[in-house]
Chains A and B, each alone.
Chain A
């Protein structure tokens, strides 16, 4: 973005959503764009980014807004958490009260959070929602794209010669998510010609890209080197910090 002096633009506030945003990323956006940046939580099925969002004071306390009734429910428990989200961690379950086209009742987000009904320092009295850091299932959000490890597994199982052991590694490079799939090299796919190996990883990467809509780096590793716990492969390693 050469040549643009952001300090002179009339931009004041940016509401960012679509994927979880760490505090460092948010602070960097503020510093470089000379704006107030807030992190916003939402789901496509509900409203998109906008179910809750950060406020200026203090910035890290998202407020729920809009016509929703939110309850946090303990995962695996049929009953609502006592006190309707009285600060305890649970799964966020949403009901949209006034939406007409696509109303949802008790929509289970699989996101773990805690709700706080005490008024905020900023004087707002709406429910406050803790930043989501974990889920009740194994879904990953990589560059704003929802990825289930089972999707990766489906693609790999269809490719001949790939051992059932694979590993998804997600980390952050220059503030951007990066997803790598490590595949153990079985004899069937191993070639003495490097061009064949490069073509093979390219093909796996293309097929994953086609299913996930995400560019994935495929790395070949030696058989037996994917980490196993109690005989089972550990399929996901998420090295991203949410700070």
Chain B
């Protein structure tokens, strides 16, 4: 069981900034597996799950972006109604605060919680599969 590395990028509220991030990653041969954007009136936070996080970090830093790496949990949900609810319930009922959640391709979702290690332990032996960085890279 391991965390998956998420890259967060600070995005000023200017047209074309998200496009510049994706362009830089595309040109560097980095594949985006999933992302989410959270925004205010003045700026946004772009969160990315990519196949090669270390390289992507370097590429974005060189392009002048403020980038942060965070360990997040990626789980493969049971593909039936209530699948996501069952996972979130395990974590939140244990009193671990979920900061945010977003979906990737297929049945993958990313969770960022207040205590990553604890949440991982809670999800172990439950009918849900934790996705590894290697799987993300493999696609």
Contacts and interface: CB of A to CB of B under 8 A. Distances in A.
Interface stretch (A96-104, A185-193, A206-214, A227-235): A185-193
B138 to A, nearest CB: 24
B68 A220 contact: no
A90 B8 CA distance: 53
B18 interface: no
Interface of B: 6, 8, 10-12, 17, 38, 40, 42-43, 45, 47, 64-68, 70, 99-100, 112
Interface residues of A, number: 18
Given A222-B12, A225-B12, A194 B45 contact: yes
Given A185-B10, A222-B12, A192 B45 contact: yes
B12 A192 contact: no
5 contacts: A190-B10, A191-B8, A193-B100, A221-B12, A225-B12
Contacts, number: 51
Contacts of A198: 40
A86 interface: no
Given A197-B45, A222-B12, A225-B12, A192 B70 contact: yes
A149 interface: no
Contacts of B66: 185-187, 190, 222-223
A192 B64 contact: no
A219 interface: yes
A164 to B, nearest CB: 15
B112 A192 contact: yes
Given A222-B65, A224-B64, A193 B99 contact: yes
B67 A220 contact: no
Contacts of B11: 222
B56 to A, nearest CB: 15
A160 to B, nearest CB: 15
Complex A-B, nearest 3 residue pairs according to Cβ-Cβ distance, in ascending order = A192-B8, A222-B12, A194-B38
B68 A187 contact: yes
Q: Which of B6, B17, B100 has the most CB of A within 10 A?
A: B100
